Amino acid sequence: MRKVVKFGGSSLASAEQFKKVGDIIHADKERKFVVPSAPGKRDANDTKVTDMLYACYELAEEGKDFTKNLQAIKDRYQEIIDGLKLKLSLENEFKVIEKNFKEKAGSDYAASRGEFLNGIIMANYLGYEFIDAAEVILFADNGEYDAEITNAKLKARLEGVEAAVIPGFYGAYADGRVKTFSRGGSDITGSIVARAVKANVYENWTDVSGILVADPRIIYKPEGIETITYKELRELSYMGFNVLHEDAIFPVRREGIPINIRNTNAPEDNGTWIVESTCQKSKYVITGVAGKKGFCAVNIDKDMMNSEIGFGRKVLQAFEENGISFEHVPSGIDTMTVFVHQDEFMHKEQQVVSGIHRLAEPDRIDIEADLALIAVVGRGMKSTRGTAGRIFSALAHANVNVKMIDQGSSELNIIIGVANSDFETAIKAIYDIFVRIQI
Ligand code: ASP
């Protein structure tokens, strides 16, 4: 039995946090593969080391003096080393970093040093082997992560390795140039390592006790989610749940390895289990509710649209030609609406409108801006009657006008479009009806 444990930046922001992490790892013999992030914020006014590295490298790139900035980063690590009373010097590593910054090694290389250095400290602290992610996490020439080659290489490298630390967030191209994932990408590394060692669980340690039913910035102290499926999480992540990087699900999902989100500051909490499938019912009919503001609806009318073969394709072609992806396309007999991200669409709206006219010859096009989309997600909805009814009566009572409804055929989610200004009220109404007032 092997566990892969990934620790986020706030779990490794100081020596004190490192000690908590050490205790967590030592408390369970199965925690053999560790993926650290770079040191995060020690308090609300602090700066993440990754951000310090980006800023420092920017100076190097502009040919300006960056010594002070690099020294501040060095100090952050030294404080951790001293606090842990380690006999470790990162002097040589910093010399190499300075040289590479001067030679303009790239911002990916710069950012990756946060995890790289933290990995060296962690390996030294635990007495585990250090494996540079650049050797085992590989990217193809087009910049995409190469899952199969990485899996083969990582598996081979880890064969016979008892315990190791593999820094998160980065890998390399075949020629050795460092490449990072997008921000928060250490979550992906953890998942990749879990797949390679066929772990029985991927523990993702952060600073919250799991995933919450709704955004705490909107709902006061929302309930936590005990178990959620990969599919449900995917829907909610897309709509803004950001406990875990969106792409972190894919590697473990292939092997059916569950992810357990845990809190470094409250290790006794069970956290949230993210699983392939479960017979465990969620506590409420809905598993979670999330949403995003900033959408536009492009409403297209044409009499007899329903009998015109290829109409939808022509409309969507106009979006495609302008490089705009669409979110939802609810339709009626003579109407079709395309939901798009407002900031993406804004600059191209007239090209898209004329494109639709040219390609599909509609009667009328009308654009509605400042809309929000809300996803009500739950595996329990399938077997419960009246869910939609409860949502819409709650919204009606809260005086929220519903502009769009879209229920996926899997009955896993219901998407609702409302005005941006009604967004928070709508989330509150939905949360209350399912979680606070249970009937
Ligand atoms: N340190 C990187 C970031 O701040 C990656 C990570 O923490 O996962 O985005």
What's the pLDDT score for residue 439? 53
Helices (H) and strands (E) in the chain, counts: 15, 17
Instruction: Say if CB 133 and CB 34 are below 8 A apart.
Output: no
Return all residues near 361 (Cβ < 8 A) that are at least 6 apart.
302
Q: What share of the chain is helix, strand, coil (3-state, %, to 5)?
A: 45, 20, 35
Q: What is the DSSP letter of 382?
A: T
Distance from C-alpha of 49 to C-alpha of 72, rounded to nearest angstrom: 9
Q: Within a 13 Å sphere around the CA of 323, how many CA atoms are in the beta-carbon half?
A: 5
Q: What pLDDT, on a 0 to 100 scale, did the predictor assign at position 102? A: 97
Chain centroid to Cα 39, Å, comes to 18
CA distances (Å), 107 to each of 46, 110, 250, in order? 21, 5, 26
Separation of alpha carbons 345 and 359, rounded Å: 18
Give, for ligand 1, the residue of 113, 186, 188 to mutate: max count of ligand atoms closer than 8 Å to Cβ. 186
DSSP 325: -
The owner of tokens 């494996």 is: 131
Closest by CA position to 344, among listed 405, 292, 300, 301: 292
Q: What is the spatial distance between Cα 55 and Cα 53, in angstroms, rounded to a whole number? A: 5
pLDDT of res. 147: 97
pLDDT score at 282:
76
What end-to-end distance do the CA atoms of the chain give, in Å?
42
The span from the CA of 146 to the CA of 62, in Å, is: 32
Task: Determine the Cα–Cα distance for residues 317 and 361; give it in Å rounded to an integer.
Answer: 13
The segments of the chain whose pLDDT lies below 50 read: none
Total Cβ atoms within 10 A of residue 95? 10
d(CA 251, CA 257): 9
Q: What is the pLDDT of residue 63?
A: 95
Look at residue 306 and give its three-state secondary structure.
helix
Report residues whose beta carbon is within 6 angstroms of any ligand 1 atom.
9, 37-38, 48, 50, 114, 168-169, 183-186
pLDDT at position 386: 86
In contact, 283 and 227? CB cutoff 8 Å: no
Which tokens hold the place of 140?
């193809």
- d(CA 117, ligand 1 centre) in Å: 13
**Residue 241 pLDDT:** 83
Euclidean distance between CA atoms 154 and 148, whole angstroms: 10
Q: Are 224 and 282 in contact (CB under 8 A)?
A: no
Q: Which atom of ligand 1 is nearest to the CA of 245?
A: 8
Can you tell me the distance from the alpha carbon of 398 to that of 426, in angstroms, rounded to the nearest whole number? 7
Strands 335-341 and 413-419, how do they pair?
unpaired
Q: Kindly give the number of the ligand 1 atom that is closest to the alpha carbon of 168.
A: 8
Please give the pLDDT value at position 246.
86
DSSP single-letter state for residue 145: B
- Report which ligand 1 atom has the smallest distance to the Cα of 51: 4
Closest ligand 1 atom number to CA of residue 189: 8
Q: Which atom of ligand 1 is nearest to the CA of 180?
A: 5
Give residue 203's region: left, alpha or beta (phi > 0; psi -120 to 50): beta
46 CA → ligand 1 middle, Å: 15
Write the pLDDT tens digit of every residue in 357-400: 999 999 999 999 999 999 999 988 887 888 889 999 999 999 99
- pLDDT score of 408: 74
Task: Please give the Cα distance from 290 to 270 (Å, whole number).
Answer: 23
Rounded to the nearest whole angstrom, what is the distance from the C-alpha of residue 341 to the centroid of ligand 1?
Answer: 26
Calculate helix-pair angle for 49-61, 91-102, nearest 10 degrees.
Answer: 40
Residue ranges of the alpha helices (H) in 127-271? Answer: 133-136, 147-158, 186-196, 230-238, 249-255
* DSSP single-letter state for residue 307: G
Residue 159 token pair: 């064969």
Distance 149 CA to ligand 1 centre (A): 23
Contacts of 261 (CB under 8 A, 6+ apart): 204, 206, 208, 210, 211, 243, 244, 271, 272, 274
**Protein residue whose Cα sits closest to atom 8 of ligand 1:** 184
